Chains A and B, each alone.
Chain A
């Protein structure tokens, strides 16, 4: 198949940037989107040009590195997949495909399609961990966790921190990401101990990073490659307001 790619090129954080159009010939429709980008980069290198910079790592949808806004949607048109699992068979011969980086104040562009997502790391550093001493391995069934709760915590934990929620949100809000990280720990016994401090600190860090506010459009869940539910945002709202009124932090 033949395609026209309009790719965002930007030399560095200070550069203004702009779109460059590339004609792609004979693209195999079994390729993933990233493999198609590899084909482009190999060609650019052969021609002595700077290849398109983009983040990628596992290419099997679990690392959350790949981040491209494809044809107006994060990770492209496919439901529940990251860019690496988006296949070219979803496009038609002759399509014009626009590729942009995530757009958010908290995710500044580093180069081309690469954005700095360390704001997410700082939110995790603010409280997305368990620091109490949980001791040795307990006997089986010593701490009963109902299957339903375990499943819910697991669903939250499937978040790969790719930032598609921020990219999809009209307000560039990080609520879905933060709520998944708050919930996965708040649901389980070891995480419950520090739940109040955790949610207060993670939300404060989220606000400090300059993300927008949630207006409940639910676009984040629709675009999330792991289809993280809106239930977690509601859970975080409960956790936060509850913590603010009952924690010891004055």
Chain B
């Protein structure tokens, strides 16, 4: 085994990859939530559609997008491998086990939370990404931009359904809990723990985990209550 494969098949190496891909996904969330703020613009989705058009046509964005898919896949595969190994490390469990004090619930349930987030990503991509790429999406004609795909309409019709809106809101709660542990855990794994910066990392992580999923959850709620095509 070369030193490189040896490094990344070791316990710390795998955790290192989990942390790096996790942080990349955290950065992605910042971009995703910022861009999607255009959904709140009361212009019948014009700004959002133009933004979508820009995001699908740009080569640089395309490279970042494939990096993103790779990061999600790598994060999932490595954590599944780690999880299987962790289960094998304790073949006989305790009859009685009490969670230690100060240990967060999310830190003990990252596997379940991560699986739920993955299920959400699959649903989310099947609905928006798949229909944008291969499905039939109505088009809309803007004076300068010309005829472009009307993804806003897809978003609007999806979130006019109560169950779909509710699903998204609930899934954002799971994302929040996953980030609550994942954010600070990534820094710990990379060894970036210092007396001065650790409290900052912890509080930034805490507020990030609340604010970002909260803004995401506001999007389906806003459409359901104020831009509902069935109302």
Contacts and interface: CB of A to CB of B under 8 A. Distances in A.
Q: Do A and B come from one complex?
A: yes
Interface string B1-18: 011001100111111100
Interface string B93-110: 111111111111001101
Interface stretch (A24-32, A37-45, A122-130, A164-172): A164-172
A234 B201 CA distance: 14
Given A171-B90, A241-B13, A244-B6, 19 more contacts: A19-B95, A98-B96, A103-B90, A105-B89, A172-B89, A173-B11, A175-B11, A210-B88, A211-B89, A212-B88, A213-B15, A213-B85, A215-B185, A216-B185, A217-B108, A218-B103, A223-B100, A234-B188, A234-B191
12 contacts: A98-B96, A100-B94, A104-B89, A170-B108, A212-B88, A213-B85, A222-B101, A222-B103, A223-B100, A238-B191, A241-B16, A244-B13
Interface string A179-221: 0000000000000000000000001101100111111111100
Contacts of B12: 203, 236-237, 240-241
B95 A217 contact: no
Contacts of B184: 216
A24 to B, nearest CB: 18
Nearest to B110: A215
A106 interface: yes
A35 interface: no
Main SS of the interface on chain A? mixed
B58 interface: no
Contacts, number: 129
Contacts of B93: 103
A204 B188 CA distance: 20
B11 A207 contact: yes
Contacts of A222: 100-103
B3 A249 contact: yes
Interface in B87-129: 88-104, 107-108, 110
Contact of B107 (A168, A204, A217): A217
Contacts of A240: 10, 12
Contacts of B100: 73, 168, 219, 222-223
A70 B54 CA distance: 61
B185 A103 contact: no
Contacts of A237: 12, 15-16, 188-191
B103 A213 contact: no
Contacts of A234: 188, 191-193
A171 B88 CA distance: 9
B178 interface: no
Given A213-B15, A216-B185, A106 B193 contact: no
Contacts of A73: 97-98, 100
A-B residue pairs, 6 tightest by C-beta: A238-B191, A212-B89, A72-B98, A234-B193, A171-B86, A237-B191
B88 to A, nearest CB: 6
A213 B7 CA distance: 14
Nearest to A69: B94
B196 to A, nearest CB: 13
A235 interface: yes
B83 to A, nearest CB: 9
A71 interface: yes
A250 interface: yes
Contacts of B2: 250
Nearest to B91: A105
A250 B184 CA distance: 32
B148 interface: no
Interface string A227-240: 00011011111111
B215 interface: no
A32 B2 CA distance: 52
B188 A72 contact: no
Nearest to A204: B10
Nearest to A206: B11
Interface in B16-48: 16
B90 A231 contact: no
A114 to B, nearest CB: 15
Contacts of A207: 10-11
A176 to B, nearest CB: 12
Contacts of B91: 105
A171 B90 CA distance: 7
B98 A216 contact: no
Interface in B58-100: 82, 85-86, 88-100
